A and B are shown apart, each in its own frame.
Chain A
């Protein structure tokens, strides 16, 4: 705010000769470098838009009007700014380079604010901001026919909420006052939910992660989107109840809750798509190249996932071959070029997983028959001949990995069931139900204490340290549960000096393809229609990436089509 107001004032300071002016509460100019206060006061030059509107500026300073209850006026984008700040700080704590915060994300955010006309721009004269809050409900509110009804606003919100709560909230608010004034702690809460905002890419909580990922991609950090989302679920990156870190005077209530309180985990697809929309919206240039040495390159990711899936290192040769064959290792293919509709939007992690599935299918067919046959041969060979290292046995691998997978999946399911969604900071839709909310909260806390004591010595496990690998296998284990060093010789045959697949036939399992534009899927994945082994492999990567098996199936199909 200071910058805009003092923009016209370019005199040098008497004391320090700097041109760095601010405004005191009394409207006088003062020098920000040496705090020298002058006698000059700001004159209001442009009176066009004073009467019926408010000059909107985003202030990073402390100059805010105090409301009666100790709160202050705040705008939704300020809230999001705080969220982003918290998130990027968490990323920094995880080891991401510090430039991301100050140079990259910050600039992306400022660019967004400017493009969406929320800040850093002169509001076109005459455009009025109809902010609706209880304190300032104007008398002609009812006469405005275009004002959307409260229920309409609530239903438009993209964030999931409890519709029942919305209805009860709506009915409670409408009982409060005669006019259907909308209630929110922020100044523009209701504005935010109005329909015409859609063209300007309205900010949502999942979109904060899109911002983060965009920045991560720019810096080419070794974090994939699925990892980022996993860190969110595990609590290493603030997302769920991040609003509890808002300063005290930023009061959250009413419609703000719909915007900032999420009740679902961020979904991969949503974050991914928004990220691309955002990149285009911000008119970003082509991103830094993703080359072969980059972590996000399929070759690298495949290696990581192969290790994590406890598969032989030798398979890496094959993944590289497939990557080359279908052309997904090219720099132009992999690098993000916003706005270019012809380039495919690459899901690096899903793609890598799909490549591995392709390779497995090439080598083992995964038709519930061939792979077990091969496994038997390998077993025979391993029994009789112990020199030269063991051959890879699919059956043994399956048993070991399935066991670990089941254990981890069970843990994950229990964690999800035990997740605590609410935080200490109480949320009320309106002042009317504040006491009710507080009472409930108190009762919940009491009950938690009472039954917590009865849970015995079972303490809630400490938040696990963030790690890139969810499953790890060590070669040092003597029980032979690590397959990294196993040989694929039992699966391949020498043919003209080149190792090729024993079975030259390869086919796509999917019987019928669908139109991606219609339903978002290239092919529909239903468990019963596919062999169990295929299903297992998909399930494994689905767990590792925390996404639906159908995503991998889609990518797999895309890749295979090219292959054929």
Chain B
């Protein structure tokens, strides 16, 4: 406790911290993309002129010093900024606990900027500086840790970043731990992210070696351990409300690879369908097809409705039929028996009309209106005078030619 120099009974600046955190999240990119160093220029809060009278010259001179630093930073004059910062640091010896932003925070932020951009500065010095900053304030400890990690990642020092994250995660400081739980979550998230990176690296290695027919057990085990660690963290993170896209994607990526039939796949598909990006929508289609490859999902109406919805949408727009074609090409040999047998048609109709409706749509599009499944279900549906089945029949009939394009040249698999 003694290592913290600031008296941690200062007035909490929660609002400010909150704002900054949100900004950070919005900006937080995937590790693959270049991480922008987070620029938080310490702008002085506007001082009312009248209060100038009562301030000591010490304070006025330090304020002037700060504005010189600010100017230098804005003009990227790092040497000059360093010169003035050298004069500013003695503010640490004064008590500023009433101020909105205290000198220790200023020094941390300004120092970070200078050290990051200055040509003569080395990463080692930077890390040394960050370590000092960590001791300056208990309330900021985790934030400083996080920023340090970001900078390390920018510099490509993944291992050091990971070490720092682990260290930060295990930090405990009385009630501060509870207060700074958001930072802890972020730390855990990023650790999970790094675990994911390691995992995918391992997977790549494994794949390469796999081609040689050589499977390294150790590598595989390591991979699994990363997976476990990553999964645990990421799962926790997703529970918290917030924008976690990147992390979710990584999580799902892992699961998709290892557990394609995971229940999250449905949500994933839904999410991906909504995306404006084509690649994502295609991925969504992939995901849902993959999920339905598994016996566990055969009777899942929701899964089928996802697939149906997407297929329908593609058919109506007449765009991207090739996606369906691609997915179907590896499945057309066995899906018809697996999902669309006559027996199943009867059973689905009896047990779950919605399920049969969705499946019928898919079957109709993929196999044509003359396929067993569709014929049975639509016949039954029209006999029962259910409107949606009539509409289904109309729809499929109208778009019948599509299946020919999807199923490819007629030399293979003849539809019955």
* Chain A residues packing against B (C-beta within 8 Å): 160-162, 164-165, 168, 263-265, 413-414, 416-422, 435-437, 439-441, 443-444, 446-448, 450-456, 458
Cβ of B7 and Cβ of A162 under 8 Å apart?
no
| Contact A422-B79, Cβ < 8 Å, known A164-B97, A446-B132, A451-B111 | no
Listed by A's residue number, 24 A-B pairs whose Cβ atoms lie within 8 Å are A162-B56, A168-B95, A168-B97, A265-B57, A413-B64, A416-B61, A421-B61, A421-B90, A435-B2, A440-B93, A441-B93, A443-B92, A444-B90, A447-B85, A447-B86, A447-B107, A451-B85, A451-B86, A453-B120, A454-B82, A454-B114, A455-B86, A456-B82, A456-B83
Q: A417 contacts which of B56, B59, B87, B125 (Cβ < 8 Å)?
A: B87
Q: Does residue B118 face the partner (Cβ distance < 8 Å to A)?
A: yes
Cβ of A448 and Cβ of B56 under 8 Å apart?
no
Most buried by B among A416, A420, A421, A453: A421
Cβ of A422 and Cβ of B90 under 8 Å apart?
yes
Cβ of B61 and Cβ of A448 under 8 Å apart?
no
Q: Once the chains are docked, how many angstroms separate the CA of A188 from the CA of B126?
A: 48
Cβ of A454 and Cβ of B118 under 8 Å apart?
yes
Cβ of B95 and Cβ of A452 under 8 Å apart?
no
Cβ of A263 and Cβ of B78 under 8 Å apart?
no
Q: How far is the CB of B19 from chain A (nearest CB, A)?
A: 25
Chain A residues with CB under 8 A of B61 = 416-417, 419, 421
Q: How far is the CB of B12 from chain A (nearest CB, A)?
A: 16
Chain A residues with CB under 8 A of B295 = none
Name the 8 nearest CB pairs between A and B, nearest first. Answer: A263-B58, A454-B82, A455-B83, A264-B57, A417-B64, A263-B56, A417-B65, A456-B79
B135 nearest in chain A by CB position: A443
| Contact A161-B56, Cβ < 8 Å, known A417-B61, A454-B114 | yes
Q: Does residue B179 face the partner (Cβ distance < 8 Å to A)?
A: no
Q: A418 contacts which of B7, B82, B84, B92 (Cβ < 8 Å)?
A: B84
Interface residues as binary, B64-99 with A (CB distance below 8 Å gives 1, 0 otherwise): 110110000000001110111111011011111110
Chain B residues with CB under 8 A of A418 = 65, 83-84, 87
Q: B95 contacts which of A162, A422, A435, A454 (Cβ < 8 Å)?
A: A162
Q: A454 contacts which of B59, B65, B79, B135 (Cβ < 8 Å)?
A: B79
Cβ of B79 and Cβ of A164 under 8 Å apart?
no
Q: Once the chains are docked, how many angstroms separate the CA of A502 from the CA of B23?
A: 68
Q: Once the chains are docked, how many angstroms separate the CA of A331 from the CA of B10?
A: 60
Interface residues of B in 17-68 (CB under 8 A from A): 56-59, 61, 64-65, 67-68
Q: How far is the CB of A125 from chain B (nearest CB, A)?
A: 43
A423 nearest in chain B by CB position: B90
Number of B interface residues, CB 8 Å?
Answer: 43
* Chain B residues packing against A (C-beta within 8 Å): 2, 5, 7, 56-59, 61, 64-65, 67-68, 78-80, 82-87, 89-90, 92-98, 107, 111, 114-115, 118, 120-121, 125, 128-129, 132, 135-136
Cβ of A422 and Cβ of B93 under 8 Å apart?
yes
B87 nearest in chain A by CB position: A418
Cβ of A164 and Cβ of B95 under 8 Å apart?
yes
Q: B87 contacts which of A168, A420, A436, A453 (Cβ < 8 Å)?
A: A420
Chain A residues with CB under 8 A of B86 = 447-448, 451-452, 455
A-B contact count (CB 8 A): 108
Cβ of B92 and Cβ of A444 under 8 Å apart?
yes
Main secondary structure of the interface of B (DSSP, over half): helix
| Contact A455-B79, Cβ < 8 Å, known A417-B68, A443-B5 | yes
Q: Once the chains are docked, how many angstroms separate the CA of A437 from the CA of B132?
A: 16
Q: B111 contacts which of A160, A162, A436, A447 (Cβ < 8 Å)?
A: A447
Cβ of B114 and Cβ of A421 under 8 Å apart?
no
Q: B56 contacts which of A264, A453, A456 (Cβ < 8 Å)?
A: A264
B68 nearest in chain A by CB position: A417
Q: Once the chains are docked, how many angstroms separate the CA of A357 from the CA of B189?
A: 70
Chain B residues with CB under 8 A of A456 = 79, 82-83, 120
Q: B58 contacts which of A164, A421, A441 (Cβ < 8 Å)?
A: A421
Most buried by A among B87, B92, B96, B107: B87
Q: Once the chains are docked, how many angstroms separate the CA of A264 from the CA of B54?
A: 11
Q: Once the chains are docked, how many angstroms separate the CA of A163 from the CA of B156?
A: 46
Cβ of B68 and Cβ of A414 under 8 Å apart?
yes
Q: Once the chains are docked, how many angstroms separate the CA of A341 from the CA of B388?
A: 109
Cβ of A450 and Cβ of B125 under 8 Å apart?
yes
Q: How far is the CB of B165 from chain A (nearest CB, A)?
A: 25
Chain A residues with CB under 8 A of B78 = 454
Q: How far is the CB of A547 from chain B (nearest CB, A)?
A: 14
Chain B residues with CB under 8 A of A435 = 2
Q: How far is the CB of B410 from chain A (nearest CB, A)?
A: 75
Q: How far is the CB of B109 from chain A (nearest CB, A)?
A: 14
| Contact A164-B96, Cβ < 8 Å, known A419-B61, A450-B129 | yes
Cβ of A454 and Cβ of B64 under 8 Å apart?
no
Chain A residues with CB under 8 A of B120 = 453-454, 456
Cβ of B121 and Cβ of A454 under 8 Å apart?
yes
Q: Once the chains are docked, how many angstroms separate the CA of A265 from the CA of B57?
A: 7
Q: Once the chains are docked, how many angstroms separate the CA of A437 from the CA of B93?
A: 7
Q: Once the chains are docked, how many angstroms separate the CA of A444 from the CA of B111?
A: 13
Q: A422-B93, A437-B93, A447-B111 are in contact. List 17 more A-B contacts (CB 8 A).
A: A161-B56, A168-B97, A416-B61, A417-B61, A417-B67, A418-B87, A419-B87, A422-B90, A441-B93, A447-B129, A447-B132, A448-B90, A450-B125, A450-B128, A451-B85, A451-B111, A455-B83
A267 nearest in chain B by CB position: B57
Chain B residues with CB under 8 A of A453 = 120
Most buried by B among A265, A440, A441: A440
Chain B residues with CB under 8 A of A447 = 85-86, 89, 92, 107, 111, 129, 132
Q: How far is the CB of A441 from chain B (nearest CB, A)?
A: 7
Chain A residues with CB under 8 A of B136 = 443
Q: Once the chains are docked, how many angstroms separate the CA of A165 from the CA of B114?
A: 30
Q: Once the chains are docked, how many angstroms separate the CA of A162 from the CA of B98?
A: 11
Chain A residues with CB under 8 A of B125 = 450
Q: Once the chains are docked, how many angstroms separate the CA of A420 from the CA of B59?
A: 12
Q: Once the chains are docked, how many angstroms separate the CA of A455 from the CA of B128?
A: 18
| Contact A416-B93, Cβ < 8 Å, known A450-B129, A452-B86 | no
Cβ of B97 and Cβ of A458 under 8 Å apart?
no
Q: Once the chains are docked, how many angstroms separate the CA of A444 from the CA of B104?
A: 11
Q: Once the chains are docked, how many angstroms separate the CA of A443 from the CA of B65?
A: 19
Cβ of A451 and Cβ of B58 under 8 Å apart?
no
Chain A residues with CB under 8 A of B58 = 263-264, 421
Q: How far is the CB of A35 from chain B (nearest CB, A)?
A: 48
Cβ of A164 and Cβ of B56 under 8 Å apart?
no
A261 nearest in chain B by CB position: B58
Cβ of A165 and Cβ of B84 under 8 Å apart?
no
A161 nearest in chain B by CB position: B56
B96 nearest in chain A by CB position: A164
Q: Once the chains are docked, how many angstroms separate the CA of A451 from the CA of B113?
A: 12
B95 nearest in chain A by CB position: A165
Q: Once the chains are docked, how many angstroms separate the CA of A444 from the CA of B91?
A: 9
Cβ of A451 and Cβ of B68 under 8 Å apart?
no
Chain B residues with CB under 8 A of A454 = 78-79, 82, 114-115, 118, 120-121
